[in-house]
Homo-oligomer: A and B are copies of this chain.
Amino acid sequence: MSLYSQRGVSAQKEEVHQATEKLDQGLFPNAFCKIYPDYLGGDANWVNLMHADGAGTKSILAYLYWKETGDISVWKGIAQDAIVMNIDDLLCVGIHDNLLFSSTIDRNKRLIPGEVLSAIIAGTQDFFDELKGFGVNIHYLGGETADVGDVVRTIAVNGTMAARWPKNKLITNDRIIAGDVIVGFSSAGKTNYEKRYNSGIGSNGLTSARHDALHKFYGTAFPESFDTGLNEQVVYIGPNRMTDAVEVAGYGNSDIGHLLLSATRTYAPLLKVLLAEYFGDIHGLVHCSGGGQTKCLKYLPAPFRIIKDRLFEPPVVFDLLQQASGSDWREMYQVFNMGHRLELFTSEASAEKMIMAGKAFGIETQIIGRVEVSDKKELELVCPDGTIVNY
């Protein structure tokens, strides 16, 4: 049993898929999000979507950092995480503007004071204000904050978006074909719309990351920060304190806390441009969230072999996590994005302009793989040391 499973997390979410399989799966089965008829407008040429997601257990890292250092600003990142986990999924069906957002925050009032709520809620509006400068308009229509300390140990920060979108501007992944190349957009570094270095961690695999990286001290000092019913051998088994310094090549000193808490990068400013200028060339889009680099397997329109043999060198945060946990490549690439959170399927001829667009935003961009004919949906990853992993 993997560490991941022992901690009560399933990267593939089998039980969830089983529980939802009888529900209406929407109009486009291979699309990254479920897409429904235009109930709100009654127009056959439009569609409706709702999308829910959140910061998951990353909120615990913010809690620990805030408790240890008093730095309340980390909560703004949690607001961004909850938003980007929604919008970057929606980007993958082509939606990048005119969204409605509602937040759902469950807190333990005994531990999470009003100033933390204020930081999250103001941080939400601030992030929308920033996105507006890039032509990405998200309207904040309120939400619910509940005091439920008997349910929630610290705080759960979730959000939901609603959209109405023209059907002929959707990316459904149905145009992915053999021969396509896959353009990867780095999750790390510093885009020209970010204020500081982004570690690339995103908002997936954070249960593993926290327990693998952080020292037992956190379990003792903050028992509210983990499920006390877990086997002690999987709880906070790492070498680090949040404030331990880390050298990031090219970006100077950071600390473990900031690497783990780095707010999930959004690709919205980039996708706004790509979808406006090259819509017809975009055959498919995948957000490498839960399931990491294996996520693409769920959205292929036909039995293809995906070969990812030119992946990014994993950013330093993933090196640190792998050193700490001793996880093999198979698990690392299934739990974390390992270097890029967005991948775009296109023809070889169109790849260069996508790469140029990414670079224009300061996003490291490269062809990371390709699509081949096969008799089943399969994936081959070539890891940094040359190891080949098949899924």
Contacts and interface: CB of A to CB of B under 8 A. Distances in A.
A19 B145 contact: yes
A24 B19 CA distance: 37
A144 B158 contact: yes
Interface string A82-105: 000000000000000010111110
Contact of A8 (B20, B142, B147, B158): B147
B117 A19 contact: yes
A109 B4 CA distance: 12
Interface stretch (A35-43, A259-267, A373-381): A35-43
A153 B9 CA distance: 14
Interface centre among A24, A117, A153, A163 (most CB of B within 10 A): A153
Interface in A100-151: 100-104, 106, 108-111, 113-114, 117-118, 120-122, 125, 139-151
Interface residues of A, number: 81
Number of copies: 2
A351 interface: no
Contacts of A143: 50, 52
Given A118-B18, A148-B156, A226-B150, A139 B39 contact: yes
Interface stretch (A53-61, A245-253, A302-310, A314-322): A53-61
Nearest to A164: B40
Nearest to A4: B147
B52 A104 contact: yes
Contacts of A153: 150-153, 227
A13 interface: yes
B146 A54 contact: yes
A141 B156 CA distance: 22
A154 interface: yes
B149 A152 contact: no
A224 interface: yes
A334 interface: no
A261 B310 CA distance: 55
Contacts of A60: 150-151
Nearest to A37: B139
A106 B23 contact: no
Interface in A176-234: 207, 210, 224-227, 229-230
A15 B114 contact: yes
B142 A57 contact: no
Contacts of A100: 36, 39-40, 48, 50, 162
A121 B39 contact: no
A215 to B, nearest CB: 16
B151 A19 contact: no
A80 B39 CA distance: 22
Given A49-B141, A141-B48, A152-B153, A102 B229 contact: no
A230 B108 CA distance: 11
Contacts of A102: 50-52, 160, 162
A162 B38 CA distance: 13
A225 to B, nearest CB: 7
Nearest to A85: B144
A108 B8 contact: yes
Given A13-B145, A16-B145, A23 B140 contact: yes
A7 interface: yes
Contacts of A111: 229
6 contacts: A8-B110, A9-B109, A19-B120, A41-B164, A104-B158, A104-B160
Given A19-B114, A100-B162, 14 more contacts: A7-B149, A15-B113, A20-B145, A22-B125, A36-B139, A39-B98, A40-B164, A48-B141, A50-B141, A52-B142, A59-B151, A108-B227, A151-B155, A153-B153
